Every structure is written in structure tokens, then in C-alpha cells.
Structure 1
């Protein structure tokens, strides 16, 4: 018996094909951007920033760039798809299908996760040549990559529902997603921060995603990975419930 409906599979395929048809823009460009970050920050800060014991700054930076790419592109996929569908008026064809709210939510998030993971893997492939990376706990790498992609895919869905035009979506990304990402420890260990900013960093859920992901490579982290995975999982549940509620209510979807 097939428990996955044809409509659900079709929506996942459509959302995945959407970004893959313009892979130069949606996959290759983010990989190039991450490569530039590595070349610039790795060259300038190598030997000047204290990170983990026996870990070079370049090696420390690579997992952060990989996870940052996963997060940003997962968000971009679901948010841009939804806002484009709303503006062009074809979102109604998705809403009129017999798909449940859970299926619509899952389809958008799964497609966003696919893009995020594909870009993240591409970033890893092109940057791994610049430093020696170990894989101390590969399961944690997979767990945090999937959780991070799911969270940002869900946030992208929420942003796409909330925004009524591209300017609003850009504001959501520039004033929320970007600061949370860059202040999450991508380029530094939070223990190098003053006490005030150290406390602020512990309030940032993005920090736990990146810190847990980095633990999978080095077996070292700023926070116990069990604590990180608990916080990240709880954050995902809250966001998923919010997204489902918005879909069910038709907020800014039905006019």
C-alpha cells in the first residue's frame, strides 16, 4: 500500500526541479561565494584567531561555511518559491489540490532541504582540499545538517507566507536570517567573545546548529552536542507547528 500520495510526490518534484533548472544560480553561485569566504578569511585570520586545540583556523572555518550554506539556501528555496507563487497567482493551484496542510508543508520543506544539502555538499567538496578534516562523529554531521536544513526550510515557508512582496522577504532575510547566521560562530569560537556577547550567542538557535555540526568533524564544541540537538529539535517543532497553523488559517494565502 502506498502511503505517499501522488500529489505530494509531484509537489516535491516540482519544487526540486524548480531550483535544479537554474543550478548555476541556485547551486554554483553559493558554492563560489563560500569559496571566496574561505580564501579571504582563511588567509587573513589563519594563526590569528584561537579556536580548538590542534585545529587550524581554516579547518575550523570549513564546517561553518558548509553549514551556513545549508541554512541560507534552504531558507532561500522555500521562501522564494512561495513568494513567487503568490505574486504570479499560481499558488491557488497548490491550495486547490486535495493535499493536506502537512503534505504541503512537508513538500516545500523537503525540497528546501534537498537544495540546502546539495549546496552544502558542494561547498564541502571544493573547500575540503584546503585543510585536513577529520570525521570524529559523522552521525552528528548528518543529524545537524538535516535538522538545520529543515529549520531554515520551515522559516523560509513562514517568511514566504508572511511576505506580500519581495521587499518584505528581503527584510526578513537581511534583518533576521543574516544576523543570526553571521553571529552564530561560523567564523569564530564563541569563547573568544566578551561575556555579554557570549551570553547573547547562547540565545541564538543558529549557534547550536553550527556548533553541533562542527562537533561531528573535530569531536570538540562550545556546547555539549546533546544539549544542542535538544534545543535545535525543540526549535524545529515550534516552527513546524507555527507553519502548519499559518497554512491551515490561510493567512495571507487566500484573498
Structure 2
């Protein structure tokens, strides 16, 4: 079940059970925060395999590449929310009276029963016709507690060297042209590196090779277009997928839902009905 309460600024929430599904390496523009309700979720994150059993809280920062699968028979059930970075930044300001910038969660799996209970209560309230005031209050309470206990100021960035600047140029070019059939030679010329050097440093910096990052960008854009009501076939053609089945395959590997089910979920929310995946 996926839904996006309007009074929470379009915040996406997901309640799902996955038995055999495995998420491809992907990242989120915002945070991915949730609680495991049953089973165990395993995911590769910052080069290490993480295991989140029932009761644990999962905290993934924006832009961090990760996977996801069930290492045990029966899969896993979880409740997730995907807040924009500004919401966590506001929570940090509420705590300290000063801006950290966007907070950073250094540990991706934490044992915090109170935080897990707050996330469950937030989700439960959002499944019922509760007031906007209650929903917003529960969300802010959960985020403030998570920041207070588990976040830190974002680690200082080292001065950007030549390689990092080249990766930024390549990334910006891909983000500006998500539907174009860009070649590696084009990208390397734009970045100012050889094709071999670019592929190596791009993956080291962003966690994905250029072609996988391009698909990630296309899936993110597909979510926006589907929420606007565009049909999956049109979205696929607009964003450079070979056909609708290609969009469906890549979308489900990263989002956990097909494009049609994702679109139906957002439509059902607008009409007051929740849709299960």
C-alpha cells in the first residue's frame, strides 16, 4: 500500500510485504526511514551488507545507493516513509535552534523501540481519517526523535578536486537530459575525462556507473510524470525507455511497484481510497 497525504506535503509512505522481490541498486532524493515489522530485510549500503530484523529502524540518507532483499524464507514486511531533506533540516533546527544543514544518519540500522513505535503510530494514523493536526504532529514527533538520537551534522566535504568536478559535470549533464540516448563518449567529453577514467571515478563517487545512474534518474522522473496522470506508455517514450515493458521492469526493481500500480496508488489516494501493491 502506497499513499501520499496532501497535508504532509505529498510525503510518500509505503507499507509492503516482499517475498522474493530484490531491489536493484538505487537511491532516493530524500530520506528512506522505516521500521521492519516481520522477517528480515538485508541491503548493501556503503559497501557493506546490513541486516534489519523485526523491530529495527532503517535510516538511509539521500543519495546513498542501496539494495534490498529478504535473506530468509518468507521475506519481510515493513513500513517506510520518504521525507524530503528539508523536513529533517527543520527538525534539527527545532532541536538546536541552529541549522546543521541536512542531518546525516551514520548508522543505517538502529535498535530503538520508541522510534519504531512512533513510526508505526504515524503510519496507522495515516491509514485512518484522522485530523491534519494529528498527522502533522505525529510526523514531526517521529522526525525530531530520530534526529535527536541518531543524526549528526553532515560530514564535512573535502575540497572538490579535478575528478570530483568532472563527475559533477557528468552528473549534471545526465540530470539535464534524462530522456536522451547519451553516449559514453559524449559524457566523457562533457566531463573532460577519458571514458575509462570517467566510468571508474563516477562509480567510486556516486555508487553507480553512468548507465545505471541514468536509469535511476529516469525512474525518478517517471514517478513525477505518473503522479501527474500521464500513462505509462507515454512516460516510457518520453524518458528514453525502449518500450513500456522496459520501464515496468526497471521501475519495479527500484520502487517495488509497477508503474501502473504506482499510478493507481496515487490516484486512489486523491479519491480517498488506499491501494495495496
TM interval, shorter chain, is under 0.3
Higher RCO (CA < 8 A, seq sep 6+): 1
- Structure with more strand by fraction: 2
Q: TM-score, length-normalised on structure 2? A: 0.24
- Report which of the two has the higher share of helix: 1
TM-score, scaled to structure 1: 0.25
